[in-house]
Structure 1
């Protein structure tokens, strides 16, 4: 039996179960030059929310009544392609289907001994996003102070650890006491702030960073980011990775005008998507692998079981129900 998950409706506000549709589809066969792939792990990520809308963005929107897609780990179960054999594991951006075929283009073999799901997280786009954004925009120096929002999430938890490796003081912002405790105990953050129980974020950040903030890795936007930016030092650098606080907004939010703060402190604020640095991916994966093998990087995963749970796991991202990378195991 083969199944697919289609986009049934374009969400208004938060995605709902009714925005997805499960469909039984034909089982494909690998033709000449093709491989048959069995999905084993599926990555769900906040950026997919943008692709569910038809607004212009940096990636095309999903088509209605067509399968959604994301980064996937798959097993080659049959091969008519000389570059792959049955039993190989590969990763690529693939459709939300139990089985599908590929001509091999875009497939990258992965090493199961490392842990397959790691290639959707610390050794995949998640780890590369953390490394590239911090390295290329944050440009950390020893002794500087780095603040990370969404710090207990997939990208944020890795950003903070890389910051520590590179000699920074690291402050994380997350949404529960359990998550802030995890930031310090498992990921080595120096300070952690629970934004949900903090009445004045600007004061809390000032207390945690008495020498000011040099680098801000922004995963959330909104009021939290305003509070961080008000504490930035001269020559501060802000890497904008995500704005999850507004992904489900139905109208534009109003907030402080940040230009005066950026101007008077000669700050840099730059948005990025990881593909901007595609030519640096091989060296990036090597660096992340070296740190992982040396025990310098820890990675947290929230693994949900079952193909039918993919939509719910995705929706749970917007409720903060994940610690680290959210992955669905098939």
Structure 2
């Protein structure tokens, strides 16, 4: 007889407009068989989810959109197993319970896209990574050793092509990606300033992550003047996480031949009506700025190169990572919604189960 288990699942109640609320996400429970269905041949693994990652891009999936790089969630949809658009989905760390693929065995640890539930059936075509360095905290594979860390690496090293001594600005700098970009830049020999939304986060940037300086953007009535104060010689590299007025002010302060890696624009995600367009795009021409948006999954081929660099840095204590941990799947909706008011300090992660 096939063993069964209770399976808590987080479901999107309906498409969201404006800022998401905890009530937009509902918790349901089903019963799951702990064995892969016969029809799954060799293309699936059944996993027990251990950690889930809360990431800003998930806000776009909570709205009804077309033509995006990733599908919207399907409201009210729940299934015994996850393939796509049935539970809320995102990056996570999991342990394999059953596998129909010879390269992934029961007991192996993986990270990649999974369901927001206790157990998920995942197609291997979705891109899963077998965890090799299990001696490091497994939750790090939702952050520094997973998608956010790889994003910081690609944006800074591959997109921005840094040079030693350059001036680097990082917005949303205390978040999962920003905290790493700043530390990568410092290790490379750059001057780094970050912006964040509270005094505690500013202190974290300067005292924990080693930024040369940082400021609270909420206390700056004139962002252009603030950037001129922190970058009297201008900005060579901007790692864009915010958009809106911050982006407009940065353009005025970029140096000739500057580079901008566009990772996210969290200030725009919850707007029901788009803000007035960016006014300072002419700077892209006059200052010969190269600006490039990117998606990390286009660069998965460089993940081994990224690990080769970052794992020794973590083990040697040369890079620091801060997590904001929520315990239990029942607290996952609150944790996700908190991203959009800046409630989290560091990488927001949800603990679903112990290994």
- 2:110 aligned to 85, 90, 95, which one? 90
| 1:79 to partner: Cα distance | 5.1
RMSD over aligned Cα, in angstroms? 1.7
Mapped contact 1:28–1:99 kept (Cα < 8 A): no
1:264 aligns with 2:277: no
TM-score, L = length of structure 2: 0.88
| 1:301 to partner: Cα distance | 0.6
1:220 aligns with 2:225: no
1:2 aligns with 2:12: no
1:27 aligns with 2:32: yes
Mapped contact 1:124–1:285 kept (Cα < 8 A): no
User: Which residue of structure 1 aligns with residue 74 of structure 2?
Assistant: 63
**Range with greater deviation from structure 2 (117-126 or 12-21):** 12-21
Tell me, in whole angstroms, the C-alpha distance in 2 between the residues paired with 1:108 and 1:215. Answer: 30
**Range with greater deviation from structure 2 (224-233 or 82-91):** 82-91
| 1:181 to partner: Cα distance | 0.7
User: Which residue of structure 1 aligns with residue 80 of structure 2?
Assistant: none
TM-score, L = length of structure 1: 0.95
Mapped contact 2:260–2:290 kept (Cα < 8 A): yes
**Range with greater deviation from structure 2 (95-104 or 6-15):** 95-104
User: Which residue of structure 1 aligns with residue 129 of structure 2?
Assistant: 108
Mapped contact 2:114–2:122 kept (Cα < 8 A): no
1:98-247 to structure 2, matched below 5 A, reads 98-102=118-122, 106-110=127-131, 111-247=133-269
Mapped contact 1:29–1:101 kept (Cα < 8 A): no
Tell me, in whole angstroms, the C-alpha distance in 1 between the residues paired with 2:122 and 2:196. Answer: 39
| 1:208 to partner: Cα distance | 1.1
Mapped contact 2:12–2:88 kept (Cα < 8 A): yes
| 1:103 to partner: Cα distance | 6.0
Q: Which runs of 5+ in 2 are unaligned?
A: 1-5, 77-85
| 1:96 to partner: Cα distance | 1.1
Mapped contact 1:38–1:76 kept (Cα < 8 A): yes
| 1:256 to partner: Cα distance | 4.2
User: Which residue of structure 2 aligns with residue 51 of structure 1?
Assistant: 61
Deviations along 1:100-150, whole A, 9 cap, x unmatched?
Answer: 234655432223320001111011110010010111221110111000000
Mapped contact 2:183–2:209 kept (Cα < 8 A): yes
| 1:276 to partner: Cα distance | 2.3
Change (3 A) 1:300 1:95: same
Mapped contact 1:44–1:326 kept (Cα < 8 A): yes
Mapped contact 1:146–1:215 kept (Cα < 8 A): yes
User: Which residue of structure 1 aligns with residue 346 of structure 2?
Assistant: 324
| 1:60 to partner: Cα distance | 1.4
Tell me, in whole angstroms, the C-alpha distance in 2 between the residues paired with 1:104 and 1:25. Answer: 23
1:18 aligns with 2:40: no
Change (3 A) 1:11 1:82: same
Mapped contact 1:150–1:220 kept (Cα < 8 A): yes
Mapped contact 1:28–1:101 kept (Cα < 8 A): no
1:282 aligns with 2:304: yes
**Range with greater deviation from structure 2 (239-248 or 108-117):** 108-117
Q: Which runs of 5+ in 1 are unaligned?
A: none
User: Which residue of structure 1 aligns with residue 82 of structure 2?
Assistant: none
Tell me, in whole angstroms, the C-alpha distance in 2 between the residues paired with 1:202 and 1:103. Answer: 47
| 1:255 to partner: Cα distance | 4.3
